[in-house]
Amino acid sequence: MNLLEKVEFKCSVSSVQGKDSNQYGKHHMFDSVEDTSWNSSEGTAQWVKLHFDVPQKVSGFLVQFQGGFAAKSILVHIETLDGKLILDEAFYPEDVNSTQTFYLKKHVNNKEAMKVKFFFPSSTDFYGRIILYRLEIYE
């Protein structure tokens, strides 16, 4: 089950294309509309940070990039409320349009995950842009 559909959270992103949050903003990753997306500005590195209102369990995540604007790698950092690092793991998505699901090697089984950061050090786009249609986190 996608945690982001049932718990309160805040999201921040590294940048938005042309600073046009209405058309390319972070909320489009969670709106369930197939043709909307978060589009970053040019440059590396890009990131998405989520902060839950209450601690959560986390076992994996789903991403859907636009082919040609995908992350070459995803570094996932998960922290507790007091900033203690619980998990630091790398994942390697394909440069495709389809959804991709990844599971953590070590699930966060206790309800202690407060902050999740998806760090994209580089992109398949020459200019470093990321286009992300969907982001889900699994309990």
The pLDDT of residue 86 is: 94
Task: State both tokens at 137.
Answer: 């986190």
Say whether pLDDT at 110 is over 90.
Answer: no
DSSP 66: P
- CATH number listed for the domain at residues 3-138: 2.60.120.260
The pTM (predicted TM-score) of the whole model is 0.94
Q: How many residues does the chain have?
A: 139
Residues 80, 55 contacting (CB under 8 angstroms)? yes
Task: Give me the residue spans of the domains in the chain.
Answer: 3-138
The 10s digit of each residue's pLDDT in 55-70 is: 999 999 999 999 999 9
The 10s digit of each residue's pLDDT in 73-103 is: 999 999 999 999 999 999 999 999 999 999 9
